[in-house]
A = this chain, B = another copy of it.
Amino acid sequence: MDGSGRNVEASSTVNVEREQRILDAATKLIVHYGYDKTTVSDIAREAGVSKGAVYLHWPSKDDLFTALLLREIQLFAVEWMEMIEQDPDGGTLQGMYLHSLTVMLKRPMLKALMTQDRRILGDFMRRQGRGVLQRRNIMSAEFIRLMQEAGVVRADLDADLAAYLLACLRLGMIYIEEMLDDDQIPSLERAVPALADFIERSLAPEGGGNSEAGKRIIRAMLTALQERWAQGQIV
């Protein structure tokens, strides 16, 4: 539970590989059965290692899960950035928002994190209420204000309300998945262009928003985040 990694032999390649394999196994099982009902033995078996081996990497099940969530967030950041960089309009508000949705909706654990899904997060949520699980809103009001200064979002908007709107929309898109049958929900491929149009019309400045400026801010933001992560900071 003390932030410092206590894994003595994490240097060799085989161990890094094994660590990832264990996290993969844990993610798969926890998404399916939930944290409480997934046992450390289950995870070890799924990863093809012994239970003891798991405890060579993390001092407790909770620490394993924390690491798993952190990795999930880091992977999100990487994939998000990649999509943004590859898309000329990736730095516009509609671009960055929809790319983040695309990445998130494909990752069940991120969805669970976003909705604070008790089925999946289980008792971990009650215990670690503050910590990894604290409200994470990548597109906060603060973020919107930065984007306004950079000419990515209309300057006359109330940043709090724009952030609120985007947060509601994102949350609704997750919840509607489990409320309606699949055939009643438009595919992401179909929905994304329409949503982009909606967001652009309502939140972007005349002319569509400065994509390059947007990319620059996100690059800086993620670099700073990765810095913090490299220093072992979990926040």
Contact = CB atoms under 8 A, between A and B. Distances in A.
A174 to B, nearest CB: 8
A49 interface: no
A135 B176 contact: no
A171 interface: yes
A16 interface: no
Interface in A139-193: 157-158, 160-162, 164-165, 167-173, 175-176, 179-180, 185-186, 190-191
A228 to B, nearest CB: 23
B171 A176 contact: yes
Contacts of A83: none
Contacts of A198: 165, 202-203
B165 A194 contact: yes
A190 B161 contact: yes
A175 B176 CA distance: 11
Tell me the number of copies of this protein.
2
A39 interface: no
A73 interface: no
Contacts of A171: 171-172, 175-176, 179
A197 B190 contact: no
A214 B197 CA distance: 23
A195 interface: yes
Given A161-B191, A167-B172, 18 more contacts: A115-B179, A160-B186, A161-B194, A161-B195, A162-B194, A164-B176, A164-B186, A165-B169, A165-B194, A167-B176, A169-B172, A171-B171, A171-B176, A171-B179, A172-B172, A172-B175, A175-B175, A202-B202
